[in-house]
Amino acid sequence: MRKILIIGIGAGHPDYITIQAIEAMKQAQVFFVTDKGSAKADLVRARTEICERHLAANSYRIVTIQDPERDRTTPAYESAVNAWHEQRRVIYEQLIASELGDNDCGAFLVWGDPSLYDSTLRIVQQMASRATIPFEFDVIPGITAIQALTARHRIPLHDIAESVRITTGRQLAATASLDHDDLVVLLDGKCAFNDIADADIDIYWGAYLGTDDELLLSGKLRATAEKIEQARASARERKGWIMDTYLLRRSRK
C-alpha cells in the first residue's frame, strides 16, 4: 500500500520542526513540494534545506508541483477555490500514481501545521475517499504561525479560561469588528485592522516570524496601525512577498 505523510514543518524557524516530523520524513522516498511562483521561492528553498539538513543525501527525491493559478478575478470566491482544489487534486493523483511505487511513501511538507489554512490535507482526504489510487495517510502536527507570534511577543493567546477566534483578513474586512476579546488574523493582504472602529484594542503583529527577516510590532491599534502598514509595505517591496499574522486584543480593564 502506498503511504502519504502530511508533515507540518513549523512556520518559519528551521528548528520549529519536531522530532516526530524528522522521523516521519525518514520514511519517505519522495517529497512533493509545491512551487507557487518566484515570490514563494524562499518557502520552497526552506523545505529543500530541511530535507538536506535531516536526511541522508541520495535517500530521497524532491518532486516539484507547479501550482495551478487560482482565478482571483471572479467574485465567486468559494467556487473559485473549489475549482482550484479540484485542479490540484488531479495533479496530486497523477503524481502519486507516477512517482510512488506500490509500497512507497511520499510526503508533503506543509508550512506550519497542516490543519490551519492549508488545503493539502483536504485534497488528500478527497483523494483517499475517491480511492482511484489506494493509499493510506497520516498527519504530523507542526508549530503554527500563531504559536510563533505569541512566543515571539511573549504573550498568552487568550485570557484565563477564555476563548479565542482565528480568522482571515477577508473575514475581518467583512465584519470590521471584534466578535471576541482575542482575535487572531491570518491571510490578510489588505491590513483589515484599519477597518476596526473600536478605539480600545491592542495589536500584536509579526511578519516572517521565526526567520532572519522577522518583524515584530505591538501597541494600541490606533497608534500602531500606520507603523505596521509602512513596515509591511517596505518589507514587501524588499522581499517581493510577505507573510504576517496578528492578534487583536480588546484592552483589559
Ligand X SMILES: C[S@@+](CC[C@H](N)C(=O)[O-])C[C@H]1O[C@@H](n2cnc3c(N)ncnc32)[C@H](O)[C@@H]1O
Site of interaction with ligand X (CB under 6 A): 11-12, 111-113, 116-118, 144-145, 148, 186-187, 206-210, 243-245
- Least Å distance, CB 92 to ligand X, is 17
Of residues 100 and 209, the one with the C-beta less far from ligand X: 209
- Least Å distance, CB 79 to ligand X, is 19
Sign of CA dihedral 118, 102, 21, 209: negative
- Least Å distance, CB 60 to ligand X, is 22
- The C-alpha atoms of residue 178 and residue 181 are separated, in whole angstroms, by 7
Of residues 196 and 243, the one with the C-beta less far from ligand X: 243
**92, amino acid identity:** Y
- Least Å distance, CB 148 to ligand X, is 6
Q: Are 248 and 185 in contact (CB under 8 A)?
A: yes
Of residues 80 and 133, the one with the C-beta less far from ligand X: 80
Bridge partners of 248, per DSSP, are 183, 203
- Least Å distance, CB 119 to ligand X, is 8
Distance of CA 153 to the CA centre of its chain: 19
Question: Which run of H or of E encompasses 205?
Answer: strand 201-207
Closest-approach residue to ligand X (CB): 112
Of residues 106 and 206, the one with the C-beta less far from ligand X: 206
- Least Å distance, CB 167 to ligand X, is 11
For 89-128, give one letter per residue: b (16+ CB within 10 A) or e: bebbbeebeeebeeebbbbbbbbbbbebebbbbebbebbe
Of residues 42 and 93, the one with the C-beta less far from ligand X: 42
- The C-alpha atoms of residue 163 and residue 200 are separated, in whole angstroms, by 19
Of residues 100 and 210, the one with the C-beta less far from ligand X: 210
